[in-house]
Structures are given as structure tokens and as C-alpha cells.
Amino acid sequence: MSDGTFGDSGSMFGRVEPPSFGSTLRRLRERRGVSRERLAFGSGVSISYITRMERGDRDHPTEQVLTAMVRYLHKVGPVTPVEYRHLLELAALPQHPAAARGPIAADVPGILAAHLPHPAAYLDRYLNVLAANTAHLRTFPGVGEDGNYLRWMLTNPAARAVLPAWESDLRRAIATLRGVMAIVGEAADDARLLTEFGRFEIFRRMWTEEHYSLTGAPTVMRLRDFETGEPYALLWQILRDQSTQMYPDQPLFIVGLPTASRPGDRPVGS
């Protein structure tokens, strides 16, 4: 049975919506079997207040009210720190213009080349590949032409060839996109990308599975050489402005370094 990765139009399914505070609160509540009445009583607010929040008909709550609601939901079923942070981000969304794939600064190619033989690239918040060195393009064959990591993972057969944990990596990429959209706020390109990716059943399913906050912590990724099939691992480091918000004009710089987990781990192209 197909997972909808290649060619599933998804026209019979509902739209994939950008993350919102109301829909996220409702999902957390319903997954715990908590009615609006119970949540209202347990957090000290009115039922109509929660109803309007979940429908998006009123402003987001204060942190005090949000904390009271999360505390009650946590008693019924654990609310993870990531889920709580996701709610906090959604409750105070700044509005910014859409990210643009504009021209790359003149010094970027030199920076990328300086990291060879390690793969390195610049991404925007939508996981578009703004620039990448040759090692990065060898690590993820076809990503330069596809132009976007999620598009590459969903549509390019090479993705499954080089990613032994393809489904886990896809889930992390989707959760990352959702988390960054929550931080930055809704923009015109959000709807365009969600319409494009929402035609894949696996994307729609994973979109509502979990939340992820972009912290910049190193991540180990298992890989397979596209030409030889040899397995190896890279430790990906995300470098960005360490401000409290993710802005569209702040590209992510990622670099993959060999791990020390096995003697066979080595930089790409060595």
C-alpha cells in the first residue's frame, strides 16, 4: 500500500493549515479526552473563553492563563516541554514578511568552500536550499535541483537511498518546519508550501503528530553513500543568530561533521 510519497494528489483530503494556537490547544485537549467544560473548570476560565480561543475568535491568552490550562492538561496526560514551548510561541506570534530566496552575499561561496570536505549549506526557514558546497550536494543528490529539503525527501527517490532512517528524518524535517512557522508567524508562502506538501498523505499525517522547537543543538544523522552504499554518520550543527526569535532574513547555516561513534565515520568526499 502506497504511503502517498510519490504522486498522491490528496485532493479528497482537507487542507493542511499553518499551526495556530487554537487548533493546537484543541488537539492537546481532545487527545486527553478533556472536554471544554472540564478544562474551563480546571483552569479557572469560562467555557466560552476556551471556545473562542480554539476557534480563533479572540486574542491569545496571557501566560498565566496558558500555564493554568497546561497544568490541568498535564495532570490528565503529560504535556512535554516542547509542546508547552510550542504553545507559548503560538500565543505570541510576531508578524513578519514572507521569507524570500534572495541573492546570496558575495562571501557565502567562500565560507561554504572553507568547510570542505564537510558538507555545508545555507537554508531559509522553509528549508529552501539557498546555497550549498559540493560536498553537501554529493551527500544529498538532487537537493540542489529540487531546491527544498522537504520537496526532495517527498519526491526524489535518491532521498530514500541515502537516508536509512528516511521516515524519522522526514518526521523531524516536518516538525522543524511546523516549529519555525509557529515562531515566525503566518506568511503568504506558508499557505503555498502547505498546499504543495499537503497533497502527500504522509506529510498530512506527520504534520499533526508532534512539535519541535529549533534549538540549534547538534543532531546525528545516519547516511548512506549514494554511489557505494557505504553507511556513515554526520553530526549536524545549526549555526544562526542566537536571538530569541527566528526571522525570515536570518538563514540557517548547517555543517555536517564526522562523528566519533564508529571508526568508519568519515567526512563526505574523503
How far CA 203 is from CA of 27, 157, 161, in Å, comes to: 17, 16, 19
Contact status, residue 223 vs residue 139, Cβ threshold 8 Å: yes
pLDDT of residue 184: 60
Query: How far is residue 204 CA from its own chain's centroid?
Result: 13
How far CA 225 is from CA of 77, 165, 254, 265, 267, in Å, comes to: 42, 14, 19, 11, 11
pLDDT of residue 226: 94
Residues of the chain under the 50 pLDDT cut? 1-2, 6-13, 93-104, 241-248, 261-270
Predicted TM-score of the model (pTM): 0.61
Mean pLDDT score of the chain: 78
Element (H, E) at 194: helix 188-197
pLDDT digits (tens, 9 = 90+) for 41-70: 888 888 888 998 888 877 778 777 888 888
The torsion defined by the Cα of 138, 143, 147 and 151, in degrees rounded to 10, comes to -170
pLDDT of residue 159: 97
pLDDT of residue 98: 35
pLDDT of residue 265: 44
Beta carbons within 8 Å of 87's beta carbon, 6+ residues apart: 21, 24, 25, 28, 66, 70
Helices of type H across 35-156 = 36-43, 47-55, 63-76, 81-90, 108-114, 134-139, 143-146, 149-155
pLDDT of residue 95: 30
Using the 8-state DSSP alphabet, how is residue 209 labeled?
T
pLDDT digits (tens, 9 = 90+) for 132-163: 999 999 999 999 888 899 999 999 999 999 99
